[in-house]
Structure 1
Amino acid sequence: MQADPSELVEITPEQYLVDIDLVYATANNLAGRPVYAQARCALRPQAAACLLRAARAANRAGCRLKIFDAYRPPRAQQIFWALCPDPRYIADASQGSNHTRGIAVDVTLVDANGVPLDMGTGFDAMEDRSHHDRDDLPQQVQRNRSLLLGIMLQAGFRSIATEWWHYELPDSKRYALLDDPIVTAVPE
């Protein structure tokens, strides 16, 4: 089912005051190859509004949000689930992902020079050290994660326990899964 054109809005650096590095449009990701056919970032309007609030809050703190992923087509979700069938980190493709609903975004913070703040692990590090509330991480990493968490929660997102980078709208099940051509998966 194709979404109505109005169901997703494209996120651009100029309009949303963010940096965008869609890693799944490159080979620098857990699949080791491009999964997205194009580097387009999109969210539902409700999530995009929260993202703009978060970006403004990050700017007030002297930082910028950097987006790694947002809307994810169903075919991409199937690829990731096949590579890592661990529901702590990847939603079962048969159930759908909140990324596929267009309401989830994977982000970090960068400083005024565009240098990423140290979050203790890289994006998509499927390991315990990626979880929130870790007592075994350096204090600066704890501060950076707390800053990101505060910015995103204040903007209206919620976090998940296992990924410091993942934020989504509450009540996710009220949003339908989408298969929108604004972002497509690379055919295998």
Structure 2
Amino acid sequence: MPEECHLVDVAKTFPALHIDLKYATADNITGQPIYQEALCLLHPDAITALAKAIGIASLAGLRLVVYDAYRPQQAQAQLWQACPDPQYVVDVSIGSNHSRGTAIDVTLTDESGKVLDMGAGFDEMHDRSHQYHPSVPPDAQRNRLLLNAIMFGAGFVGITSEWWHFELPGAASYPLLDDRFACFSSQHTSL
């Protein structure tokens, strides 16, 4: 694998895909924007899998919404400051698969664009966010299973603690990437 990776712009590659980058807004665990730019980037291998996921979702009459993709390591450090729990946020000293361009956070909408209920919100760092939690109502659990099936069918794997997080198999074997866009400083985010 080459050391230098050219990340692919998801918005340019899939112009019809709904992208709602939560870390470019205040709608995340820090309560403030982290990204200075709303760029949605992925490794070419993840782009190939995402194309399959978009197609599979379409077959089911559903659409994907992307909440996060490539994440600068500076942003990962800020998330770790906000939630230093390795169950939900990877310590920057280890390196997130988002910072390799090999992980993506997604949800589903129906044909009318309504976000499906997943039983817990994005970035809700609680047991309810775990893939198979008994407190999640059956309809929301079915929606999670649909999301899992779509993403697994496309070649991604999930993690047990976050229903929204998917990554390439062997994602951690890809190199950590230098920051590709700027983040607000931790002083800005008051972490």
Give the Å deviation of 1:142.
Answer: 1.1
Instruction: Answer yes or no: is the 8 Å Cα contact 1:16–1:55 preserved in 2.
Output: no
Per the normalisation by structure 2, the TM-score is 0.92
1:145 maps to: 144
Instruction: Answer yes or no: is the 8 Å Cα contact 2:74–2:179 preserved in 1.
Output: no
Per the normalisation by structure 1, the TM-score is 0.93
1:22 maps to: 21
Instruction: Answer yes or no: is the 8 Å Cα contact 1:16–1:52 preserved in 2.
Output: no
1:117 maps to: 116
1:185 maps to: 183
2:90 maps to: 91
Distance 1:123 1:160 in 2: 14
Give the Å deviation of 1:24.
Answer: 0.5
2:47 maps to: 48
2:125 maps to: 126
Instruction: Answer yes or no: is the 8 Å Cα contact 1:13–1:20 preserved in 2.
Output: no
Q: Secondary structure at the match of 1:7?
A: coil
In structure 2, what residue type is equivalent to 1:60? Answer: L
Instruction: Answer yes or no: is the 8 Å Cα contact 1:43–1:70 preserved in 2.
Output: yes
Q: How many residues align?
A: 184
Structure 1 portions without partners, runs of 5+: none
Distance 1:175 1:17 in 2: 28
Percent of residue pairs bearing the same amino acid type: 49
Give the Å deviation of 1:179.
Answer: 1.5
Distance 1:62 1:84 in 2: 35
- Pairwise CA RMSD of aligned residues? 1.5
Instruction: Answer yes or no: is the 8 Å Cα contact 1:69–1:105 preserved in 2.
Output: yes
Instruction: Answer yes or no: is the 8 Å Cα contact 1:13–1:19 preserved in 2.
Output: no
